[in-house]
Structure 1
């Protein structure tokens, strides 16, 4: 049970982290284009 819930948490964190990276990359690109 512990490993199962741990796995779910890790998947959630991985997804969040990946989405965050994509978002910041897009924001950074927009920012650089505006300069």
Structure 2
């Protein structure tokens, strides 16, 4: 697993599943 921006954000905000970043759920993505 690489430490790209997605992983750093996951660790910082306690996000459990990286698939949230690749989905098209704007409610989630607008938080960042």
Normalised to the residue count of structure 1, the TM-score between the two structures is 0.30
Greater Rg by CA: 1
Normalised to the residue count of structure 2, the TM-score between the two structures is 0.32
Higher relative contact order (CA 8 A, sep 6+): 2
More helix by share: 1
